Chain A
């Protein structure tokens, strides 16, 4: 681990200034990914700008929209009574991230900014057609994740909140990697207010992706049987010692059917 300079600003503008001034700065929210990376020598930023001082935390349910501020921990999201009623699938997703330590430190903003291909939240952001709010603009969930550990964020841009439109129904089913408990495959299925259906898959590919064939089939009939024959191609999926791409492709279908069953 290399030494770094630690900052904890109280205003977003100060955070941005610090980032601009740093040689190789990193924003940190809960630190659940960044700190282990630093400890293992995989990241060695010159400056850490802790966004915890911005006090961007809280879940607000208003009309047909749920807004979760960027610094809200997974535990706080999972425990929010309003969210449990509004979008139970999202509430359950947050409650299944990592372990209790991670859930009480890690935040939604930190998770999506990191864009780990095996993280859970990206499936919800894309699956629910969410909008990511930053200190500079609003980014559609579909445009936010651009690749493995890559997002549409500019280097000095700070996520302030994520806005989720309430769906008619939704569910998230995850198949955890047995060792790390990250999603080996995770599928978020939602029928949105306008009747359109989204199927978003995390863990299986380099970045979260949608399965249009499943979405079309489910729009015709929202039942597990509608998609029993709809498969995803293994070619583009991840393959490692835990799961081959063929096994992952198979799991996408199994989990999608289970998510539809749960969302019914």
Chain B
């Protein structure tokens, strides 16, 4: 392993820029003649728009334009789309209600985009927005997923009973038959709490229309600028792709919430033309982020697990209601279906599984993919069920898991996925050792002496990353392919530019991608630059989400590097006057077998560009290659997290006393960055389990957790120092053997925490977030019983 190659703990190249305040985010960009947009948003959860009077606002100082839905319709700008078609059990397509970029006729959640004011300054736009007079006729609303089907108000005309789809996966008859033979059945009612993403950088956009060239440019906080361009072009119909450039510069975190194409970004582009080509900037205020970024999770589930008398799992049955919010966001429909139910087998050999999912509309912000997207919800169901089953059957939870682990690969689950590689026993064994599982009873007894309740919980998660192949996802309803592209440009002096369709918004691609190049071409990472996030520079890209940038994005780069090496060998063979088959490439230099002839990579690059020493009729000058990579399968990272908590029964406060995470991510490019991803993921998962809960008031439909005064993000003090370790089984479906690590922590953590708390308290279930009040409430009946 070289100092900067694969496996090296290289410090992140991009951090100097970020730490010294030189990051260039969308809001840092100011174009000549720039003006500002401010959105008028719905104060109601559900209402008819009777009239919008913009006269006063239009006359306010600095105002260039006040626009509403009718203006958008006049220009025939299409609405927002959902890019994954799901069909109900009965074969009918999902009921997608219209989602115009400015509301038409109705508003459907608090924060819905009603009108926009464009003015010379941000303050003028905001002041004028307060003068827009909207007359509403309030309609009955519902914010609760569980009540959506019987709610009085109907969110969309196309969706009776607010049902978007009723989808199923698995063999119902076989599952029912297996349950009949069960010696024990474990049942749980599970709520997966709604979360608000909270990227550090709020969403922002600058839409700029060039009247000279009839060309649009959008600067935006996107995880996938090419997909944004495709959708804005093909569905909103604003401009054809060659007349639209989308740039996603430095982006300060996304966690999924910046995958989607939102109304505000499209409005900025459209409005720029309306105000004569002046660039229109919008930067979300934090309150707008809370109200109008796509939220995550929000599932209500009834789950059952059937076992034989020895604790072998026979079957699983899951019934989930998933809130989609008020509109179907870009990829909302695939989250509670193909990203959720396909993972219900967990790490276990379960002969039959049947899942049914009702996706429903509620009068809340749209719900879409958020770190883990469906997989945290699946893991939570599986790992809560398994832990509870073990306790009910009085089998040690580690032993229960061992009895049911999948041990041979490939393994076809009853829910589509074919696991390619893994060693679940290995990660469990290592985790038990690191967590000193044997010492737990003693620690529990010691804690009891101090008046504290100690509990331990497991989470043996599995996830599916690098969603693929394109043909398969297409057959399941995806509107796009899920390959990735890359281009490698070797400069005449031997430095390298990588143009990638993956987008970095915190992941460290500028470092890890350079490590791959360094490893393969033997050049220093300082001589490699990574270019991404600009549709005019990068040929195409599907973007970054679902932990796909390593397994899919880097594989595309590796393929292009293969082509570079092959061509460079040809050039080197001519220059060194040797047969191509005799040229070897190692550690950055080309040599001729059995001779002392040698050329450095840089010399070959120069030779390729000078083109003096090879026939250009056979070999084209230059050294630049590109590749598209479509994986043959998902990748399946998995691992074991063990959480130990201590609870103060006087206050209900939970303290995480110990955390062990043993993950199998396949090959690891940069262990330091991977550990950072695991840390961040766990903290996000702990946030879901202990502190974060999005609350809408059922009576008013207002968002009660609309600021950091009420929405509680986890803090450093809420978590201990994590003990991390890795096991490794290579992923067979990509040449680098990588699986992906971006979401694992967030997927694993909630179940580990709640399993530990329920163990400590001695209850079957507790709602998330398990705040001190929740835990204290759970303890009261037991205290009374003890008295």
**Residue B712 lies at the interface, judged by CB distance under 8 Å to chain A:** yes
| Contact B708 A179, beta carbon cutoff 8 Å | yes
| Contact A250 B776, beta carbon cutoff 8 Å | yes
Q: What is the CA–CA distance of A40 and B711 in the complex, to the nearest angstrom?
A: 16
Q: What is the CA–CA distance of A247 and B713 in the complex, to the nearest angstrom?
A: 22
User: How far apart are A33's CB and chain B's nearest CB, in angstroms?
Assistant: 12
Q: What is the CA–CA distance of A94 and B771 in the complex, to the nearest angstrom?
A: 26
User: How far apart are A133's CB and chain B's nearest CB, in angstroms?
Assistant: 32
**Contacts A241-B695, A242-B771 given: A180-B708 contact, CB under 8 Å?**
yes
Q: What is the CA–CA distance of A243 and B712 in the complex, to the nearest angstrom?
A: 14
User: How far apart are B203's CB and chain A's nearest CB, in angstroms?
Assistant: 19
Residues of A within 8 A of B713 (CB): 179
Q: What is the CA–CA distance of A244 and B695 in the complex, to the nearest angstrom?
A: 15
| Contact B710 A179, beta carbon cutoff 8 Å | yes
**Residue A65 lies at the interface, judged by CB distance under 8 Å to chain B:** no
Residue of A40, A244, A247, A250 with highest tally of chain B CB at under 10 A: A247
**Residue B691 lies at the interface, judged by CB distance under 8 Å to chain A:** yes
Closest to B130 in A: A41
Residues of A within 8 A of B771 (CB): 178, 242
| Contact B710 A241, beta carbon cutoff 8 Å | yes
**Residue A75 lies at the interface, judged by CB distance under 8 Å to chain B:** no
**Residue A251 lies at the interface, judged by CB distance under 8 Å to chain B:** yes
User: How far apart are A252's CB and chain B's nearest CB, in angstroms?
Assistant: 12
Residues of B within 8 A of A175 (CB): 651
Chain A, interface SS category = loop
Residues of B within 8 A of A250 (CB): 776
**Residue B705 lies at the interface, judged by CB distance under 8 Å to chain A:** yes
User: How far apart are A251's CB and chain B's nearest CB, in angstroms?
Assistant: 7
Count of residues in B whose CB is under 8 Å from the partner chain: 20
| Contact B711 A179, beta carbon cutoff 8 Å | yes
**Residue B408 lies at the interface, judged by CB distance under 8 Å to chain A:** no
Residues of B within 8 A of A242 (CB): 710, 771, 773
Count of residues in A whose CB is under 8 Å from the partner chain: 14
**Residue B650 lies at the interface, judged by CB distance under 8 Å to chain A:** yes
**Residue B777 lies at the interface, judged by CB distance under 8 Å to chain A:** yes
**Residue A217 lies at the interface, judged by CB distance under 8 Å to chain B:** no
Q: What is the CA–CA distance of A254 and B772 in the complex, to the nearest angstrom?
A: 13
Q: What is the CA–CA distance of A250 and B779 in the complex, to the nearest angstrom?
A: 13
Residues of A within 8 A of B123 (CB): 1
Q: Mark A222-260, 1 if CB is under 8 A from B, else 0.
A: 000000000000000000011110010011001000000
User: How far apart are A6's CB and chain B's nearest CB, in angstroms?
Assistant: 16
Q: Which of A194-232 contact B (CB under 8 A)?
A: none
Q: Which of B627-666 contact A (CB under 8 A)?
A: 650-652
Q: What is the CA–CA distance of A242 and B651 in the complex, to the nearest angstrom?
A: 13
| Contact A241 B704, beta carbon cutoff 8 Å | yes
Residues of B within 8 A of A40 (CB): 287
Q: What is the CA–CA distance of A29 and B287 in the complex, to the nearest angstrom?
A: 26
| Contact A180 B777, beta carbon cutoff 8 Å | no
**Contacts A178-B691, A241-B705 given: A251-B651 contact, CB under 8 Å?**
yes
| Contact A180 B709, beta carbon cutoff 8 Å | yes
Closest to B713 in A: A179
User: How far apart are B494's CB and chain A's nearest CB, in angstroms?
Assistant: 49
Residues of A within 8 A of B712 (CB): 178-179
Q: List 12 A-B contacts (CB under 8 A).
A: A1-B123, A40-B287, A178-B771, A179-B713, A180-B708, A241-B705, A244-B773, A247-B773, A250-B776, A251-B651, A254-B650, A254-B651
- Chain B residues within 8 Å of A, Cβ to Cβ: 123, 287, 650-652, 691, 695, 704-705, 708-713, 771-773, 776-777
Q: Name 8 extra pairs, CB < 8 A, besides A1-B123, A40-B287, A180-B710.
A: A178-B691, A179-B708, A179-B712, A179-B713, A242-B771, A242-B773, A243-B773, A247-B777
Closest 9 CB pairs of A and B: A179-B712, A180-B709, A178-B712, A254-B650, A247-B773, A179-B710, A241-B695, A243-B773, A178-B691
